[in-house]
Structure 1
Amino acid sequence: MNPSGKLRGQQHGKKNLLTRATEFNKELQNCLNLCNVKGYEESEIRGYLNNFTNDICLHRWKLKGKIVALFAFLILLIVVLIKYGISCGYENWLIRHLLISALPYWNWPSYYDARCLVENPKYTTFSLSVQDCEMCEDYSSIQRLPISEKMQVGSYLTHELPLIISNGSFNVLRKNISNVREFAREVMMDDGHSLYNPCGFSSNLRGRSKEQYTLMNMIKSEQFSSKFYAHWENCDTLAAKEFRLFYSRPPSLPAMLQLDGSNWVMLCSDFDGTVPRRIQLYSSVTIVMVIKGNMKLMLIPKYTCQHSCNNVTQTMKDNDLLLITDFVWDLYYIPNCSQDETIVFGVGGRFE
């Protein structure tokens, strides 16, 4: 859509509104002057103006009724078109045309792009400040803890420090999977994953296909490349629920940490990657579980702390578990598994 055209439409709508208000004000002033010339008393003038404003209100209600009736007719028309299988191309054109026509009078794109329709003035959220960067100013490597010291995990979380628990994801996988291809095939053939597209899908198998789940199509056609990587988030509720059947809650997690609904997976087979791939952190805590192989990850400080904190690069080993909050760092990983295969699970969480 042409922004200049949209702006002209808004200005035209405001000009029409201003012109009508000016004309209404002139008519009202002329009416008042006429009543004064004829010697009407104040009570008579008020009664006459009440009749005048009542007519305006009645006209306004009639106009609103016509608009409601028009919308009801359009909705009924769309329902009929869908019910009787008429091509949806025309109805899509009609809806777009109506929305574009409404732009000079109703700026609906602001609602379409809004994350929250009703703001809560009492809601406050944490924001990263320059003073908070002191916690990562001299941070060079992620602390490791043996699983026997899991009682200290809560202290790391409350201080926003990332932590790796050695053998923290041991025996988390509920099914016996021998290799990446077998695991990918079993996941993709599941109904919850074959019916719904994932979020944040990234892979060297994407190609030019319009389908987001190119990896699933490759598995179905048995045209599996010997070298590939792929990661995605099971953001759909059904897909995330089905994927939870593949893993159990790690026993190394403290009771204060609750797991969220969504989860994600990263697969890598004989791929020699060098470019860091970002993992979007939508939860306050992210749990990364290495089920098989190794995973090279990178913590990059957020923009506020980039002047005082350095990138942290570390390799997670087989059965390692990472806990990281979304406060200071952004999480990246490098799909480099030329010597081995890698299977990694991720799940969001929160703590109080």
Structure 2
Amino acid sequence: MTTFANKLSTMNAIESDFENFFSYCTKQGFSTTQMLDICQPLFQQQRKVKTKRFLYLTTLVLIVYCFYNWCDSCAWFLSAIGRLLLIQLLPYWNWTPLYNGKCLIERPFQETTTKSLPRLGRHETDVDNCALCEMLDSIPTTSNTTFSYLEAKYLERGLPVIITDSHDEQTLDWLLEKIQNNPQDFLSSDPCDIGTNLMLKKFFNLDVAIQKIKSNNSMTKWFLQFRNCKFNAVKASRMFVTRPYYYPLHLEPFYSSWILISQDYTSANREIYLQGLIFVQQLSGFFEFHLRPKQPCSVSCPTIDIRLSAGECLVFSTDLWVFSYEMLESKNNSISVATILEIDWHL
């Protein structure tokens, strides 16, 4: 108490001295500008004090923020303190509706509309999308293109497109060599969505299947279809399932890749389930690809049949289309090879 009284007495004395000083200056006829010049050192000192306080406070806030982000125990402690303070505020401000609400700004119309929409199945699309494909009778082609051009002219409108100069033609021998020279993560992985006549599915082993294809002693008509779905296998497949030149840097790497291979094998239409933005790259030979519009658009939109040449790529979105393919017997005993990329695509 004595220290506080001494400080108060000192402050009162300083204030009294300032009043006497200003009174004296006024009597001597000093102008306001002159008074400001005389007191400028005091003002500067006052600004320095305020700046120091601001810097101290900012530093303290940054330190607390860093501890909150990088120290779990500190974050828990600060959260607990915050909750206790909020509880103390309850008599004056009921903040519980904000705490329990999903949005700070109410949007009742949009919320009720969203809740009323049924969940779409894998073969269904929004009925409004049917207007995008009603007048489609063939798939456009383009070359020397960019992804921004494809996105703006075709993909945003749900239209498939064929890029005629997508990549170089590659043989089956090239593909098998790339696979076998790949890290062991790829050959030892268990592929998904396997289809083949090389062996029973329960005995399937990718390395064994490749050896059967390379030997090709007794079997002249065969096919192999599989998807790389595990992270290590997908990452390893990027060494030989190449990204085309128009694949932009901002687009995420493909999360899944397919390989389709056949030799003189004939089959009925085989549907494979794809999701996202799809790149179908024909490396050699040919397959008969089909794009069927999803329900309810199949009534008003046609099914599109496509046969790609080696070096061409079909790009489309599964928001509107269901993909399937057929294997056809070739006249010259050629081998057909294609790869499919699945990409998580958002505008």
TM range, smaller chain: 0.5 to 0.7
CA distance in 1 between partners of 2:149 and 2:322 (Å): 23
| 1:123-180, Cα deviation, whole Å (9 max, x unpaired) | 9799522232121222222111122476520121111111111111237xxxxx6x42
Distance 1:218-1:154 versus aligned 2 partners, 3 A rule: closer
Q: SS of the counterpart of 2:204? A: coil
- Give a deviation string over 1:23-46, Cα, whole Å, max 9, x none: xxxxxxxxxxxxxxxxxxxxxxxx
Q: TM-score scaled to structure 2, two decimals?
A: 0.57
Aligned positions, number: 223
SS in structure 1 at match of 2:128: helix
Asked if residue 328 in structure 1 is aligned to residue 325 in structure 2, the reply is: no
Q: Deviations over 1:156-211 (max 9, x none)?
A: 1111111111111237xxxxx6x42563465267522332210111112233x522
Residue 239 of structure 1 corresponds to 233
Distance 1:269 1:182 in 2: 16
Matched residues in 1 for 2:271 and 2:160: separation? 16
Q: 1:192 corresponds to which letter in structure 2?
A: D
Equivalent positions of 1:1-352 (< 5 A) are: 128-148=125-145, 152-155=149-152, 156-170=154-168, 179-180=171-172, 183-184=175-176, 187=179, 190=182, 191-207=184-200, 210-213=202-205, 216-220=207-211, 224=216, 225-254=219-248, 257-271=251-265, 273-282=266-275, 284-336=276-328, 338-339=330-331, 340-349=334-343, 350-352=345-347
Task: Kindly state the Cα deviation for residue 310 of structure 1 after the two structures are TM-superposed.
Answer: 2.1
* 1:164–1:321 contact (8 Å) kept in structure 2: yes
The 8 Å contact of residues 203 and 228 in structure 1, kept in 2 or not, is answered as: yes
Q: Is the 8 A contact 1:139 1:310 kept in 2?
A: yes
Higher-Rg structure is 2
What secondary structure, in the 3-state scheme, does the structure 1 residue paired with 2:135 have?
coil
3-state SS of paired residue (2:158):
coil
8 Å CA contact 1:259–1:347 kept in 2: the answer is no
Name the CA distance, whole Å, in 1 between partners of 2:207 and 2:328: 21
One-letter code aligned to 2:271 = R
Give the Cα separation in 2 of the matches to 1:255 and 1:348: 16
Are residues 184 and 275 of structure 1, via their aligned partners in 2, closer, same or farther at CA, if it must alter by over 3 Å? farther
Two-structure CA RMSD over aligned residues (Å): 3.0
C-alpha distance in 2 between matches for 1:189 and 1:206:
23
Task: Report the 3-state secondary structure (helix = DSSP H, G, I; strand = E; otherwise coil) of the residue aligned with 2:132.
Answer: helix
Q: Which amino acid aligns with 1:243?
A: S
The question of whether the paired residues in 1 share the 8 Å contact of 2:141 and 2:161 is answered with yes
TM-score, normalised by the number of residues in structure 1: 0.56
Identity of aligned residues (%): 22
How far apart in 2 are the matches of 1:256 and 1:160? 20
Q: Which runs of 5+ in 2 are unaligned?
A: 1-101, 104-110
* 8 Å contact kept, 1:153–1:254: no
Kept in 1: contact 2:175–2:240 (CA 8 A): no
CA contact (8 A) 1:235 1:263 kept: yes
**Structure 1 pair 199–189 and aligned structure 2 pair: CA distance change class (3 A):** farther
TM superposition shift of 1:319? 0.4
